[in-house]
Structure 1
Amino acid sequence: MTSVNAIGGFQPTHMEGVLRRACAVAGLDAVHDRVLRGHTNAVVLLAGEPVVVKIARRGSPGTDALRTVRFVRWLMEQDFPTAPLHPIAAEQPMVVDGHAVTFWTYLPQPPHPVRAGQLAAPLHALHNLGTPPVELLERDNVTAIKSSIARITSLPAPLIDALSARVDRLAEELPGVRFPYPKTAIQGDPQHRNALHHGKGSVLCDWDTVAWGHRE
């Protein structure tokens, strides 16, 4: 197991307790190979099963995980290239001690990440799927950027003030922007860490920030 101070906002012993209880309900062995990610959520690869367990970040609303599960199920029904939910003997998302837990089929990866050009086809397909039967939050880039700036601790105050002022100016100009394409479902953070190699192509993953907005 990866040794870290906090994984998805959890101390390791707390995370492991949630993992054990969730796997017991799902009918899976909770022994895990390694932590794949821990900055936002606790994402753990099981040792004896091709399964990735994702424990939503401590304090995250359970409704967020429910929206993600419903959206991904719809994508799977459309044969869309997405990392798939793993079938388990329980409903997803599972709630353990107030924490939302989801299970995903593990897709083994080569050492090199997905290239930017490999994102084009799945993103184009996503933007042309039409309206999903799931209510998505409206994408608010300005609020998201301001929130990120507010959490910065490694830059000098004058630079943070300059960034904040720049965002404010852009926010004032945004209503005047004209978008040529209609709103659609968008992956909130399309980049190589949120895509996986699969077969001869790539699939999108990490739908926590899926939203309704402009693809541009």
Structure 2
Amino acid sequence: MTASLSDGRSTRDRLRAVLGQACAEVGLDATGAELIRFVNNAVFRLARHPVVVRIVLTPGLRHRADNVVNAAQLLSDYGVPAVELLPDVRQPLHIGEHSATFWQEVPDTGDEPTAVELADLLRQMHEIPVEDASLPEWNPIDDLRRRIRDAEGWDPDDVEFLLRRCDDVETRLAEVRYELPPGVVHGDAHLGNLITTPGGTVLCDFDTTCVGPREWDLVPIAVGQLRFHHTVNKHEILAEAYGFDVTRWDGFPVLREVRELKLTAAVLPIARSNPNIRSELRRRLRSVRVGDTFTRWVPYR
């Protein structure tokens, strides 16, 4: 039976069924697996193998599984420190409407990654020749529309508002002129997508890795500084270490709006399945609706 996300209360049990089937097909044991993240993907840490399994949550984003495989292989080819796919396993693996990828678990020291480390990793990534990258072109509005249209039992008026906002931002985005050359960009470059290991810090989460404007990889930390309760100015540190302050560039306001739309709409496909996110989603929607750029947000849990 295909595991569906239509029944919110049973979603996690259904995802465990998908996990069990996926693991069985590649010879792994899913017994005792721990769900460690449930926002954009369901991420499980296996108890009986040093393996992490990521399951795409919504049918509209299944294409991302192919993208993360291509991105991981590209980063490995160019020696960019990053999490690695489990070898000798056909990936991605499609189970009904879901897609799974399998990753070698890396030892996490628990130390918080720094903006300087992120800048270094981004420079390495951005230097990969774009002609060698079998990756999609940057199209953040298409990604947003997919998420919004997969909204799970949410207010239709909010959904229609967000789709109209996408149309408006897409028009303005087409007029932006970039200062940096295009490159291979991570697509969601914040400190939560770094892992500190005994051998150094590595990148993870390549769902939106693509070829696009390098400026986009500097936007998440800048927006995070503006929207979240950061006591340290991580944006200032990143800008100095990378050598470019994206907030001083005239295209930043448009890219900020794209980022904030993404930070708001990202969880719409699981809004019913994960009740912990609903109050924060409502807060963010209110901010976007009235053009409030000052209210502080808190991370989705």
TM superposition score category, shorter chain reference:
0.7 to 0.9
2:22 match: 22
Give, in whole Å, the separation in 1 of the partners of 2:148 and 2:69. Answer: 29
Give, in whole Å, the separation in 1 of the partners of 2:62 and 2:42. Answer: 15
C-alpha contact 2:31 2:47 (8 A) present in aligned 1: yes
Sort the Cα spacing of 1:202 and 1:213 in 2 relative to 1 into closer, same or farther, 3 A: same
Give, in whole Å, the separation in 1 of the partners of 2:70 and 2:142. Answer: 25
2:115 match: 116
2:39 match: 39
Give, in whole Å, the separation in 2 of the partners of 1:115 and 1:40. Answer: 23
The alpha-carbon deviation at position 143 of structure 1 amounts to 6.0
User: As a proportion of its length, which structure holds more helix?
Assistant: 2
The alpha-carbon deviation at position 61 of structure 1 amounts to 4.3
Give, in whole Å, the separation in 2 of the partners of 1:102 and 1:27. Answer: 14
* TM-score after normalising by structure 1: 0.77
Sort the Cα spacing of 1:49 and 1:149 in 2 relative to 1 into closer, same or farther, 3 A: closer
Give, in whole Å, the separation in 1 of the partners of 2:24 and 2:143. Answer: 36
For the residue of structure 1 that corresponds to 2:91, the secondary structure is: coil
The alpha-carbon deviation at position 141 of structure 1 amounts to 4.4
The alpha-carbon deviation at position 142 of structure 1 amounts to 5.5
The alpha-carbon deviation at position 73 of structure 1 amounts to 1.2
C-alpha contact 1:113 1:193 (8 A) present in aligned 2: no
2:236 match: none
Aligned length: 204
For the residue of structure 2 that corresponds to 1:72, the secondary structure is: helix
Q: CA RMSD in A?
A: 3.4
The alpha-carbon deviation at position 42 of structure 1 amounts to 0.7
The alpha-carbon deviation at position 44 of structure 1 amounts to 0.2
User: As a proportion of its length, which structure holds more strand?
Assistant: 1
The alpha-carbon deviation at position 132 of structure 1 amounts to 5.3
Give, in whole Å, the separation in 2 of the partners of 1:59 and 1:9. Answer: 19
1:104 match: 103
Give, in whole Å, the separation in 2 of the partners of 1:209 and 1:51. Answer: 22
Identity %: 30
1:178 match: 177
Give, in whole Å, the separation in 1 of the partners of 2:124 and 2:170. Answer: 29
Give, in whole Å, the separation in 2 of the partners of 1:70 and 1:181. Answer: 24
1:79 is aligned to 2:79: yes
- Give unpaired runs (5+ residues) of structure 2: 216-301
2:50 match: 50
* TM-score after normalising by structure 2: 0.57
Kindly provide the amino acid, as one letter, of the partner of residue 182 in structure 1. Answer: P
The alpha-carbon deviation at position 191 of structure 1 amounts to 0.5
Give, in whole Å, the separation in 1 of the partners of 2:33 and 2:57. Answer: 20
C-alpha contact 1:9 1:41 (8 A) present in aligned 2: no
For the residue of structure 1 that corresponds to 2:130, the secondary structure is: coil
C-alpha contact 1:56 1:100 (8 A) present in aligned 2: yes
For the residue of structure 2 that corresponds to 1:42, the secondary structure is: strand
Identify the range of structure 1 (101-110 vs 194-203) with the bigger mean alpha-carbon deviation.
Answer: 194-203
Please list the CA deviations of residues 88-130 of structure 1 after superposition, one character each: whole Å capped at 9, or x if unmatched.
4x31111112321100011122334312221011100000011
The alpha-carbon deviation at position 188 of structure 1 amounts to 0.9
2:190 match: 191
C-alpha contact 1:83 1:105 (8 A) present in aligned 2: yes
The alpha-carbon deviation at position 62 of structure 1 amounts to 3.5
Kindly provide the amino acid, as one letter, of the partner of residue 178 in structure 2. Answer: F
C-alpha contact 1:76 1:84 (8 A) present in aligned 2: yes
Give, in whole Å, the separation in 2 of the partners of 1:87 and 1:51. Answer: 11
C-alpha contact 2:81 2:121 (8 A) present in aligned 1: yes
C-alpha contact 2:81 2:202 (8 A) present in aligned 1: yes
Give, in whole Å, the separation in 1 of the partners of 2:54 and 2:61. Answer: 14
Kindly provide the amino acid, as one letter, of the partner of residue 41 in structure 1. Answer: N
Sort the Cα spacing of 1:172 and 1:17 in 2 relative to 1 into closer, same or farther, 3 A: closer
2:203 match: 204
Sort the Cα spacing of 1:58 and 1:205 in 2 relative to 1 into closer, same or farther, 3 A: same
Sort the Cα spacing of 1:96 and 1:113 in 2 relative to 1 into closer, same or farther, 3 A: same
C-alpha contact 1:132 1:185 (8 A) present in aligned 2: no
